[in-house]
Amino acid sequence: MKTRRVVVTGLGSVCPVGNTTEETWRALIEGRSGVGPLTQIDRSLFNSKVAAEVKGFDPSLYFTPKEIKKSDRFVQFAVAAAKMAMADSGIDMSKDEPERIGVLVGSGIGGLRVIEEQHKILLEKGPGRVSPFLIPMLIVNMAPAQISISLGLKGPNNCVATACATGSNALGDAFKIIQRGVVDVMFAGGTESCITPLGFGGFDAMRALSTHNEEPEKASRPFDRTRNGFVMGEGCGVLVLEELGRAKKRGAVIYAEMVGYGMTSDASHITAPDPTGDGAARCMVNALKDGKIDPSDLSYLNAHGTSTPLNDKVETLAIKKALGLEHARKVKVSSTKSMTGHMLGAAGGVEAIACVLAIRDQIIPPTINYKHKDPECDLDYCPNEAVKCRVKVAMSNSLGFGGHNASVVFKAYGK
């Protein structure tokens, strides 16, 4: 049976650099940082005092006051991004079969904020004062559940939780669901909002966060020799994936075609990547093979690029292994985390959107704050300024704690 082709027909995002997809994309192309002083919690308590927070997000644009009280921030981001993606796609549920449209949106951590708030109430006021909405507010699957309820989507409804690989795994799994013919459309991506005392404190205790506190906008500096940790972020990215024939029949605008997905495990360490880069390299190779893409045809790679000393070095090594040294030195690589910070489970969704828009506009967002060359990070990271060039094929990498690796591949749509 002929494999069904899958295209991207809608985009939605909430991000530290913009509360819509186009706002975010303009900021990324202009090299604007979304990092600033930590404001959601008391920064004096932590070694790292910077974060990439979503600014000016208004949940009342997407929820009633009662709904706001019953939903954690990570769910609010997810529903907002999904509604944007649906509007962008032009899908009209009054004319569609809801059973043929599904949702696969994940979160690495879920409702940590409500857990902390309600635990405090439990200790101070007793179990009788705990919110009856605690469980449905905190569980990770409530992001796709609320999207499904809000938009009336009755197809597969699932979530992924693979730490920082979550968004890319969700996209890849949704891609395969459409290829298999289970449904025709999937809303897919990742969402996260856990800049809380416990969440931030946990990463801070690991010494995983950047301590470049003096100039917050320069704290995230992937591949730069002076990098010393990632900047914690929050946000959401949702893409509408659609079977090609259906998209053409309804006259949808097609951003790009999704062609490949790879996932592997390092089987090495609970937080650190395999120092050989083997797992990440195999993941990229698998994704390219799945899409029938020769490594030499890859135009752009949106790297995981967290700004931690070990991740950036190992990912660089993995790119060389996957693409071969000659093409690895030619391909354009950038880390949009230099601007958005690390949105954890949401990162893969937003970074896939960056790949799709790089194909649409034939421009690659930069890696900002790249000033000091690292001999172990020696590829073309598009330093500090966007690069206008031919972008035919783009790949996004996501590498998560626990050794989870996921890569997704998009190419320019051609009949």
* pLDDT tens figures, 271-293: 999 999 999 999 999 999 999 99
- Could you tell me the maximum CA-CA distance found in the chain, to the nearest angstrom? 65
Could you tell me if residue 356 is inside a domain?
yes
In a shared domain, residues 185 and 158:
yes
In a shared domain, residues 179 and 307:
no
- pLDDT above 90: residue 165: yes
Could you tell me if residue 256 is inside a domain?
no
- pLDDT above 80: residue 143: yes
- pLDDT above 70: residue 123: yes
Asked about 342 being catalytic, the answer comes back as: yes
- pLDDT above 80: residue 415: no
Could you tell me if residue 254 is inside a domain?
no
Could you tell me if residue 186 is inside a domain?
yes
User: CA-based Rg of the chain, rounded to a whole angstrom?
Assistant: 20
pTM beyond 0.95: the answer is: yes
Token pair in block for residue 4: 């069904």
- pLDDT above 90: residue 414: no
- pLDDT above 80: residue 311: yes
Token pair in block for residue 352: 């896939």
What's the average model confidence in pLDDT over 383-393? 98
Asked about 404 being catalytic, the answer comes back as: no
Could you tell me if residue 255 is inside a domain?
no
What's the average model confidence in pLDDT over 78-98? 96
- pLDDT above 80: residue 408: yes
The backbone torsions φ and ψ at residue 257, rounded to the nearest 5 degrees and listed phi first, read -105, 135
Asked about 304 being catalytic, the answer comes back as: yes
Token pair in block for residue 48: 């790292």
In a shared domain, residues 324 and 281:
yes
In a shared domain, residues 266 and 371:
yes
What's the average model confidence in pLDDT over 313-335? 97
What's the average model confidence in pLDDT over 246-258? 97
Q: Which domain holds residue 50?
A: 7-249
In a shared domain, residues 176 and 285:
no
C-alpha 89/C-alpha 77 separation (Å) is 18
140, 110 Cβ separation under 8 angstroms: yes
In a shared domain, residues 284 and 232:
no
- Reduced to 3 states (helix: H, G, I; strand: E, B; else coil), residue 72 is coil
* CATH number of the domain residue 201 falls in: 3.40.47.10
Q: Give percent of the chain with pLDDT exceeding 90.
A: 98
What's the average model confidence in pLDDT over 169-197? 98
The predicted pLDDT at position 1 comes to 65
Catalytic residue among 194, 236, 342, 404, which? 342
How many domains is the chain built from?
Answer: 2
298, 353 Cβ separation under 8 angstroms: no
For the stretch 22-50, what's the b/e string if a residue is b when 16 or more beta carbons lie within 10 angstroms of its beta carbon? eebbebbbebebbbbebebbebeebebbb
Give the end of a domain, one of 203, 222, 249. 249
Confidence at 2, pLDDT banded by 50, 70, 90: confident
Q: DSSP letters along 95-163, please?
A: TS-GGGEEEEEE-SS--HHHHHHHHHHHHHH-GGGS-TTHHHHH-TTHHHHHHHHHHT--S-EE----G
Chain segment 198-229, per-residue pLDDT in tens: 999 999 999 999 999 999 999 999 999 999 99
Catalytic residue among 159, 212, 304, 377, which? 304
- pLDDT above 80: residue 85: yes
Give the end of a domain, one of 249, 269, 301. 249
What's the average model confidence in pLDDT over 237-265? 98
Could you tell me if residue 298 is inside a domain?
yes
Confidence at 323, pLDDT banded by 50, 70, 90: very high
In a shared domain, residues 38 and 67:
yes
Catalytic residue among 15, 159, 164, 355, which? 164
